[in-house]
Amino acid sequence: MSFLRNPFLLLGVNLSAIAGSTYLLRSHHIYNLEEHEARMDELEGTLRGHIGLIEESLDRIEGNGTEADRGMKMNEYYGKRGRDEKQQ
């Protein structure tokens, strides 16, 4: 049992435990960030679509533009994703 009192062994065990737990927590954190980004992209696309439908309905009620203009406007503004805009 005297080997358990060796300070270098204790230091090595402690450092390896810290390194292992850091690696594990970092990998979980990265996974959760990727999942969150995917959910936010999906939510953004849904909200853009709903906003487009609301604006199209408002234009139709107000009588602004033709049907083709409204469809083109909706595709232009709300068909894209935020990630696509950031890459350009």
Q: How far apart are alpha carbons 53 and 55 in whole angstroms?
A: 6
Q: Is the dihedral of CA 78, 82, 84, 88 positive or negative?
A: positive
Number of H helices, E strands in the chain: 3, 0
Q: And the tokens for 43? A: 């939510």
Q: What is the CA radius of gyration of the chain?
A: 27
Per-residue pLDDT tens digits of the chain, which is 88 residues long? 676 788 888 899 999 999 999 999 999 999 999 999 999 999 988 888 888 788 888 888 888 767 667 667 766 766 665 555 555 5
Q: How far apart are alpha carbons 56 and 67 in whole angstroms?
A: 9
Does the pTM surpass 0.75? The reply is no
